[in-house]
Structure 1
Amino acid sequence: MEVRVQNSSQEADFVILGFNTSEQLQVTLFALFLLMHLVTLSGHLTIVAVTFIDSALQTPMYFFLRNLSSIEVCYTLVIVPKMLANFLAKSGRISLTDCATQMYFFIALGGAECFLLAVMAYDRYVAICNPLRYALVMSRNFCVLLLVAACVSGFTISLGLTTLIFRMPFCGSHKINHFFCDIPPMLFLACSDTHANEVAVFLVCMMILLIPFLLILVSYVFIANSIFRIKCPEDRKKAFSTCAAHLTVAILHYGCAIYIYIRPKSSYSLYQDKVVSLIYTNVTPMLYPMIYSLRNKEVKGALKRIWEKKFVSMET
Structure 2
Amino acid sequence: MKPPVLLFVVFFGSLLLGGECNDQKLTKITAGHHVKKRAAGDFKVGIAWDTCQSSRIGVNIFEINAPTVAILVTIIDDKSNAKIADGQELGGTGGTTISDSFPVPSSNRDYEVQWTDKSDQTNSGAVTLHKCVSISATGRRDPHMRTFSGLRYNFQGYCSYTLVKDCRTGSPSFNIFADFRGRQNPTKPPTRMVSVTIEIGGADTYTFLEDHSVLVNDRLVESRNITIGDDKGSIQADEDSVVLYFKEAGLSLEWTGKDHEALVTIDTDDLAGRLCGLFGDGSRVQGDDLVKSDGRRTTNTTEFAESWVVPGSCPHDLKTPLTRTRTRA
TM-score range, shorter chain: under 0.3
TM-score normalised by the chain length of structure 1: 0.21
TM-score normalised by the chain length of structure 2: 0.20
Higher RCO (CA 8 Å, separation ≥ 6 residues): 1
